[in-house]
């Protein structure tokens, strides 16, 4: 992986898989397993958000001078998703399958819409604006992946 779109889109798929494991366990009433899987998903999602918010977005903004554009929108959506995750945690703590399912559906829709915007708009913009630069090692390290040469 040597471009931002590829790296970050791959990370989206990894988060999606973690989300699905948590949702499956909880829907089957496997609360301990579901709680553990949910926490793994949340950690992975937060790692992804942090990589974007602390490394990728500031670099893009520095190069383009755009601070009120797509990165601002993405940060707002990250906040919305973090709120949904907390409501999911609450539902799990109460062992309320219905509330969890509703919140999981909300988060799934938010993630799908968000990922489409990043993968089809923001990441290609980052690739174009940051072309010729190697991905920051801190970005690939933050995501737990090594950049392919």
SS (H, E, C) 10-43: HHHHHHHHHHHHHHHHHHCCCHHHHHHHHHHHHH
Cite the DSSP H helix spans in 52-146.
57-64, 70-93, 97-117, 123-129, 137-142
138: Cβ contacts below 8 Å, ≥ 6 apart: 55
Q: Is the per-residue pLDDT at 30 higher than 60?
A: yes
> What phi, psi does 145 have (nearest 5°)?
-130, 155
Domains identified in the chain and CATH numbers: 4-143 (1.20.120.520)
pLDDT-derived band at 44 (thresholds 50, 70, 90) equals very high
Structure token pair of residue 52: 């974007």
Q: What percent of the chain has pLDDT over 70?
A: 87
pLDDT of residue 136: 64
Residue 60 or residue 147, greater confidence:
60
Q: Residue 9: in which H helix or E strand, if any?
A: helix 4-27
């Amino acid at each position: 992986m040597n471009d931002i779109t590829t790296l970050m889109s791959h990370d989206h798929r990894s988060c999606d898989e973690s989300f699905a494991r948590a949702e499956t366990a909880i829907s089957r009433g496997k609360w301990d397993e579901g709680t553990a899987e949910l926490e793994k998903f949340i950690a992975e999602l937060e790692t992804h958000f942090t990589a974007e918010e602390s490394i990728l977005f500031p670099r893009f903004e520095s190069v383009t001078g755009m601070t009120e554009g797509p990165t601002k929108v993405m940060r707002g959506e990250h906040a919305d998703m973090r709120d949904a995750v907390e409501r999911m945690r609450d539902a799990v703590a109460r062992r309320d399958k219905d509330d969890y399912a509703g919140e999981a559906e909300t988060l799934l829709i938010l993630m799908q819409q968000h990922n489409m915007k990043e993968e089809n708009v923001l990441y290609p913009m980052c690739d174009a604006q940051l072309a010729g630069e190697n991905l920051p090692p801190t970005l690939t390290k933050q995501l737990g992946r090594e950049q392919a040469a």
